[in-house]
Structure 1
């Protein structure tokens, strides 16, 4: 535990730093209406209506429009949430392609259908209740140039009740299935399946895990004495909120660190066909598995050069919070990026994966970015220098 003890010192050193503020984008909080209806035993149709007077391009990522088997709705049976068996991806949010958007003219509607049996454990027949809520990032206009995010629209659907036939539901194949455990070497850092890695990927992932541990532990140490920043990201400074944040970040740090055996398994490459265009990495929360995608290595720096930019370290931290063995209940994707995440309610923010990644990134990244000279650099190699006063050379802006 020597490394984590040293990291506690880092947390104390930077506990009073102030995160840079980013202006909110204009909110279109009532422009989108979503209505759910059943078209079969477990088939759901979502009707999305643009209630405004401007054409919109709706970013599909982590919304009711997402083409991947994500959690589009919350499903309840007998007052208990039904187990989710799909994927929770982290998407690259820069240089967005037009194919990631769905155009919607003013006063017009579009429909999207999906089968909840593909992403939920519907093994018991009977009545279920489902609803959808979230944030859709929006770009105004149509065409190739309409990919610049100009705002976001909140949506909250009707509650839909239906009776499910479990036998019929079981005939629908699960979208992600079960992963066959590899017979390859398992590295004890969060159980990296090294047989899924080439040397470069393994070095990058190990560096990201080291940096994830450092960022998470430093953020956990600093949170109790930085309540303004806690309020910025989590909308509450109650003792229960702070304790939850600290506990979860410490759990991420432990899981990311090489001092403990992990409860998750981390794959350098994708074996479940979840790496569709735009996906950096994804988690299967019911199996505690994380998979990196090719653009995790090609498009992300080891550590970002400025606040709130995506990088390998905070992508790994983000994915860690999706695992039930690390955070229980596991975090969801309720708000993506600074603007979305800081617009959430306290109840939503505490369960939002990006809130933890952004809190750690925005608060501490200026102290750490200068060590990311290569994908193999990591914070632990620089502890003697950091603890020797190097922080005085780095300025928070």
Structure 2
């Protein structure tokens, strides 16, 4: 079996094993270290010796041994080993948690503990739940690997210092924790759908895990409109995945995609979630974004898109969650509905925001709108600046090709 196949298998198993270990023994930081050692052992042995018949049980056994080795001392050895034996007898290592008792979701709530900062919540979730390496997370955050390693280590220490338990939060904390969980899942999905750096346009392992966890979150919180909205947004967005790249892996923009390749079952499910949620809940940020995605997905052709409705929805989104990215997307919608000059007027309201003008998307959108307006020289310069700023190689190649096309 190739190393890549083993890597993909381990990434899926890692959060399951970690969740089981934390549920049994507590001490998230020690368990996470033990699981990392077990993953390293598997990555070394399995490509040569083959994957064991019960890979989950193998990883859990090795991680448990690493954990108990770390705990063992003259004063506590016998008591701890007796406890481990009793726990193993109660829950055999070859029996992962079922869908009705998903340790991964509890692990997600633990990683989103309020003692952690937002960036630490995301980093720890990507490591423990998403299965990314520290180097991959560092690349996603555009920071040195050593910096990210320290952030993850501090996050684990804060969880331990806070005395956090491996359980669902109490009702009084559920609302705030749910908001953090949804934000982290949204960021994990986005990192999978449009990888922020590297050769690949997307990482289907991350999008699949984000969708799976969003489904579980919706199942556990059926009266939360935003949980339904988040799941719908992921489904309606991921439905386009097969059409986002051509045979060479080059990015294909939404307007040029072959819509027959969109996943109709995912679209139908997403639209049904949006329709049901809108009849029962006020529009929150994820539900509004899902509604926008549904309008896009229901258009048989790009020219059939109801842009005035999308502009109206972005105005609603700007009220419920105002932020520069909403304004950026609204600029595109306004340009499509009212013309490029109107879109550029909206975009220019962000010109004084240094964060946005340092982001490749601002320049990419500006290039697109300038090209629509016939200002080819300015469009070419904007595309080139966007290409310079992005860390995604597929996006860079696409932007460079747009710059070349704008100059012709």
Higher strand share: 1
* TM-score, scaled to structure 1: 0.25
Q: Which has the higher helix share?
A: 2
> What TM-score do you get using the length of structure 2 for normalisation?
0.24
Between 1 and 2, higher relative CO (CA 8 Å, sep ≥ 6) is seen in 1
